[in-house]
């Protein structure tokens, strides 16, 4: 098994994508109406973010490097 690393490390964040498996839709909708509720004097607690899938750590996909057309013309490949 590999070494334990800090997920919040800047270098780790640049290499992998971490999905905690939670659905934040209800919280986002709550935040959109939060100012309205404060203005109307209503206090609604923030809804929970239920876990809908397992935690995933995936490597970020690197974009394909494209050759410059000018260089390709110069070497005669285009």
Q: What is the pLDDT of residue 16?
A: 81
Q: Is the pTM of this model over 0.75?
A: no
Are 27 and 49 a contacting pair, CB within 8 Å?
A: yes
Q: What is the pLDDT of residue 36?
A: 94
Q: To the nearest whole number, what is the mean pLDDT of the chain? A: 83
Beta pairing, strands 56-59 & 16-19: antiparallel
- Whether residue 68 is predicted with pLDDT greater than 60 in this model: the reply is yes
Q: What is the pLDDT of residue 52?
A: 94
Q: What is the pLDDT of residue 33?
A: 95
């Amino acid at each position: 098994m590999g070494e334990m690393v800090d997920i919040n490390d800047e270098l780790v964040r640049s290499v992998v994508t971490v999905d905690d498996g939670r659905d934040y839709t209800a919280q986002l909708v709550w935040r959109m109406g939060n100012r309205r509720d404060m203005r109307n004097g209503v206090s609604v607690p923030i809804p929970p973010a239920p876990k809908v899938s397992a935690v995933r750590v995936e490597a970020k996909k690197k974009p394909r490097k494209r050759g410059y057309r000018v260089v390709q013309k110069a070497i005669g490949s285009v």
